[in-house]
Structures are given as C-alpha cells and as structure tokens.
Amino acid sequence: MIAPVERAAESELQSMDVVGPVCETGDFFARDRQMPDVQPGALIALLDTGAYAMSIASNYNSRGRAAELLVEGKRAKLVRRRETIEDQLRCEV
C-alpha cells in the first residue's frame, strides 16, 4: 500500500508511477497507481518496501539505508535511524 502522509484537498484520483531514488528501470514501487494528486517531493508512506527494508537493503550506488518506523494506530516510533555516510564508510580500510 502507498499513501500520502499529509491529507491533500479532495481531488480526483490520477494515474501515476511511484519510483525510488536510484532512477533505474527496475526502481518502481508502483506503476499506473490511482492516487490523489501527489506532487514531486511530497512525503508518502510505503507500507510494503521490499528491497528498501533493512532485511535485504544494500548500499547500492552509495545510497544510505533508510530509517524504519514502527507504526501502530496513530503512534510511530523510530526503530532504526537513517544510515549516514560515516556508517557506510566505517568498515573501509
């Protein structure tokens, strides 16, 4: 499921692609998804993240691993902070 974090004004659903930051042909979360008007840069919640989740995430293209939140009802708790460049380089010689 993909949903806008902030509720937008009522609008008709639009067909859009939701893509990741790597800009490769396989970096799609959804294709032709019917969603409310979400502008580029808007915060959205990806409730099923696949390779972006920590269990199989990597530092491909030097991308830091994302933060993870545990959400229950209206409460959210940070369970893993966003990885920094220092974290990525820590094991380098």
Q: Is there a catalytic annotation at residue 23?
A: yes
**Whole-angstrom Cα distance, residue 77 to residue 75?**
7
Q: Which residue is catalytic, options 23, 47, 56, 91?
A: 23
The angle formed by the CA atoms of residues 50, 46 and 33, to the nearest 5 degrees, is 100
2 in Cβ contact with 29 (< 8 Å) = yes
Active site residues: 23
